[in-house]
Amino acid sequence: MKIGLVDDRMIDLDKLNGIVSRVQGVEIVFSTTSAEEAYDQIKKETIDVLIADIEMPHLSGYELADIIHSHALNISVIFVTANSGYAVHAFELNVHDYIMKPYTNDRLMKSIERLMEKSKGAELKGRLYLKQKNDIHIVQKKDIVFIERSGRSTTIYTKEESIKTYLTLNELEGELRERDFIRSHRSFIINIHYVKNFSLYAKNSYIITFEGLDAQAMITKEKVEYLQQHYF
């Protein structure tokens, strides 16, 4: 599990580092006193968890969590704070935990361990099982870049492979209830986290290019506007 740490007080950040580094199966990707730097790191690095103070100068931990929530990033948030006033609003952002300072080492370690157990269960649920004649092909949903319907078959694209199935987009849409996926066009479902660029194709449609993939998808103008409003 990859974790980022941010607290504007160095003494509190050192405490976080000391506790988190003792949890087995955890890697600290970044540790910083600046919420702005944490935000830059989140844009560049893949992390699973952000542990953050709330009240910090310029950009607050709450604002960081709001960015994560509004952009549908797959990052869990643990707040470690001396201020109880944000608790209700924090849980509206689906934060994993809200820990009040001063706290014990065991309190934070158990919170991380609970999150690791929760992630293991989510990983099992986060798989797509595709029947292909006598075989069942298992695909991690998070690895799906986009899905295309053409004729009577459907192709699921990941960065490593493309998989043919006879499931319809309506059937697959029912399986992909995560906020990561949207029906961009009558023939396409896309994972918004891999989107690199929209290029105007016709009056009411765009071509989508993706990170790490040559294949392209389509999106309607209406859906581009929806993405801009709700995701970007």
Residue 118 CB-half CA count within 13 A:
12
When pLDDT is cut at 50, 70 and 90, the band that residue 149 belongs to is very high
Phi–psi pair at 129, nearest 5 degrees: -105, 115
d(CA 82, CA 102): 7
Strand partners, 156: 147, 163
Helix (H), strand (E) at residue 35? helix 35-44
pLDDT of 207 strictly over 90: yes
- Whether residue 182 contacts residue 227, with contact meaning beta carbons closer than 8 Å, is answered with yes
Per the model's pLDDT, the better-predicted residue between 143 and 229 turns out to be: 143
pLDDT tens, position by position, 40-51: 999 888 898 999
